């Protein structure tokens, strides 16, 4: 079985450790981020709406990988009320527009992993992935070393997406 190797990026350890060190039962990682008291800049939140927000994936598949979700911690689409559902899909559309404006990708993946067996690593808090893609974005590092490289720091990505977010 092939596995993806990881490049060491210790600068993320302090961020992840500070958010995930709360006792069990404190809510999902996303809920912990919201309750942390940290600024949007520190948490890489790129948009806040009335019922939903968007933040960068701390371990992105590609530069600009954004997660859009309701503030309310729910696991399933059918648990969204009508207002949450409408705002969520508007924010997903806005995230796609922001990613396209900021990065000019060749395409964009939009998707959900509902439940742990479907690939949901934080399955208790519904979130939609918006992932910019480029032809050939599986570079030699992925092909030869099974490792992904990202050319931009999260703080820079967040600033670009905030600036590109439709108003």
DSSP state of 115: S
The pLDDT of residue 56: 95
The pLDDT of residue 61: 83
Q: Give residue-wise pLDDT tens across range 45-95.
A: 999 999 999 999 988 888 999 999 999 999 999 999 999 999 999 999 999
- Which of 22, 19, 102, 14 is CA-nearest to residue 62? 102
* DSSP codes of every residue in 62-103: STT-EEEEESS--S-GGGS-HHHHHHHHHHHHHHHHHHHHHH
pTM (two decimals)? 0.78
Give burial (CB, 10 Å; 0-12/13-18/19+) of 99: buried
**Which position has the higher pLDDT, 94 or 19?**
94
The pLDDT of residue 86: 98
CATH no. of 39-164: 3.30.428.10
pLDDT category, 16, cuts 50, 70, 90? very low
Average pLDDT score over the chain: 83
Query: Contact 117/109 with Cβ under 8 angstroms?
Result: no
Coil, helix or strand for 30?
A: helix
CA distances from 150 to 5, 105, 110, 115, 130 (A): 14, 14, 19, 27, 16
Q: In the structure encoding, which two tokens stand for residue 72, read together? A: 């309310």
Give burial (CB, 10 Å; 0-12/13-18/19+) of 113: middle
**Which position has the higher pLDDT, 141 or 129?**
129
Indicate if the pLDDT at residue 126 is higher than 70.
Answer: yes
pLDDT category, 10, cuts 50, 70, 90? low
Contacts (Cβ under 8 Å, ≥6 apart) of 91: 47, 49, 52, 53, 54, 68
The pLDDT of residue 9: 52
% of the chain at pLDDT higher than 90: 56
The domain spans of the chain are 39-164
Query: Contact 66/160 with Cβ under 8 angstroms?
Result: no
% of the chain at pLDDT higher than 70: 75
Indicate if the pLDDT at residue 98 is higher than 90.
Answer: yes
Residues tagged active-site: 127
Following CA atoms 114, 36, 89, 62 in sequence, which dihedral angle do they give, to the nearest 10 degrees? -70
The pLDDT of residue 123: 87
């Amino acid at each position: 079985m092939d596995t993806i190797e990881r490049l060491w990026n210790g600068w993320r350890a302090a961020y992840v450790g500070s958010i995930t060190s709360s006792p069990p039962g404190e809510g999902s990682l996303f809920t912990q981020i919201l309750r942390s008291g940290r600024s949007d800049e520190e948490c890489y939140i790129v948009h806040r709406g009335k019922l939903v927000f968007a933040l960068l994936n701390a371990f992105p598949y590609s530069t600009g990988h954004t997660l859009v979700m309701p503030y309310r911690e729910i696991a399933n689409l059918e648990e969204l009320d009508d207002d949450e559902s409408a705002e969520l899909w508007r924010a997903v559309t806005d995230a796609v527009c922001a990613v396209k404006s900021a990065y000019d990708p060749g395409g964009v993946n939009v998707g959900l992993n509902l439940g742990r067996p479907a690939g949901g690593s934080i399955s208790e808090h519904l979130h939609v992935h918006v992932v910019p893609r480029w032809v050939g974005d599986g570079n030699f590092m992925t092909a030869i070393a099974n490792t992904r490289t990202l050319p931009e720091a999260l703080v820079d990505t967040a600033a670009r997406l905030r600036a590109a977010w439709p108003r």
